[in-house]
Structure 1
Amino acid sequence: MKSYALALALMLASPLAALAAPPSDAQVSRLLEVMRARQTVETMLPQIEASQQQMVEQMMAGREITPAERERLNSVIARSSAQMRKSLAWDKLEPIYRDIYRDTFDGQDTDALIAFYASPTGQRLLDKMPALMQNTMSAMQKLVVPMMQELQKDIEAEARNDAVKRKSAGAETK
């Protein structure tokens, strides 16, 4: 009876342990390689910068700005781009990617993902991913820019209201 219970416990535990085994470092490395993770990140950076520039241009549309204001705006965009490139450099992202994949997928999942991304279909998906991301970012901008413009109007209205309140408070104390 004891051997039956032990055998049953081992049979039930073995598949669960096998399924729950985290991927090895080699599996995660291979997955990141076949997914072209580094190249994807490096390809996305210029697209993010272009989207950022386009969003700023859309927000400034219809406004007349002086050359000095344009220079300051370009300086802010350049600093933002430099900070983004520093923050999203592969040497900073790779450990994060590794942890995410290791925490999300087990070894069996990782092998299946490697098989998919190494396949012609997976490679075609990766080939089309930059265009997919660009199309997604463009679609999102159409949603975000009007919200940002509304936010900017709200902030300007609040600033005007505060200025009026300060003026009237100053007039009352005189």
Structure 2
Amino acid sequence: MKHLVQKHALVQSLALAALLLLAAPFAAAAPPTDTQVDQLLEVMRARKTVEAMVPQVQAMQQQMVEQVTAGQQLTPEQKQKLDGIVYKSNAQLLGMVSWNNMQPLYREIYRQTFSGEDMDAMIGFYGSPAGQNLLDKMPQLMQNTMSAMQRVMVPLLQQMQKDIQAEATKPAASGG
């Protein structure tokens, strides 16, 4: 009887060990905590990145206004109304992309995308000198990427414009 109890205990121990081994991948894939996400956002300078976007978007808005009104002589009243629209739009933009509004969105996106283990690895990298160096160079990388994309896209868009113009100036096919 004692021998049977020992065998049963051994089988239970092996079954428990197997369950623990099977559960290990699921434990490693646990979702990140808010603390992990916040720590990653901090080392990645996410708040500064969001805040740096605001002047760029404002400049794009101003450029758009200038393009829309190019060559037009605006009355002082029209100019005042236009300035009011831009001011209102800027205020909405500032409210929309404030860190208080963006942080919950970032948390949700990072929690949906990465595991807690991923977070720890990224915190380690972005918190390191190499990670900080990458973040320092990221704006230049993005600028270089945009320049390279323009070199590729401009000829394509110019060709597309020519094709559209050629098609638009063709005489209509006679339906017979």
TM-score (norm 2): 0.66
The aligned counterpart of 1:147 is none
- Higher relative contact order structure (alpha carbons within 8 Å, sequence separation ≥ 6): 1
Aligned length: 142
One-letter code aligned to 2:59: A
CA offsets per residue over residues 52-92 of structure 1, 9 Å max, x none?
11122123323333332222112111100001101111111
Residue 59 of structure 2: aligned partner: 50
1:15 is the counterpart of 2:31: no
Which structure features the higher share of helix residues?
1
Show the counterpart of 2:109: 100
Contact 1:35 1:117 (C-alpha < 8 Å) held by counterparts: yes
Detail structure 1 runs of 4+ shifted over 4 Å in the superposition: 1-6, 130-140
CA distance in 1, matches of 2:143, 2:97: 17
Q: TM-score, with normalisation over the residues of structure 1?
A: 0.67
Paired residue type of 1:51: M
Equivalent residue for 1:60, pick from 46, 64, 69: 69
Aligned-pair identity (%) = 57
- Check whether the contact 1:44–1:130 (CA below 8 A) recurs between aligned residues: no
Alignment CA distance shift 1:102-1:10 (3 Å): same
Shift of 1:122: 2.3
Deviations 1:116-172 (A, max 9, x none): 2112332233224445567778989x99xxxxxxxxxxxxxxxxxxxxxxxxxxxxx
Aligned-partner Cα distance in 2 for 1:67–1:133? 39
Secondary structure of the structure 2 residue equivalent to 1:23? coil
Q: Does structure 2 retain, via aligned residues, the 8 Å contact 1:23–1:110?
A: yes
Q: One-letter code of the match for 1:14?
A: A
Q: Secondary structure at the match of 2:31?
A: coil
Separation in structure 2 between the aligned mates of residue 32 and residue 118 of structure 1, nearest angstrom: 10
**Partners in 2 of 1:131 and 1:60 — Cα distance?**
32
Letter in 2 for 1:45: V
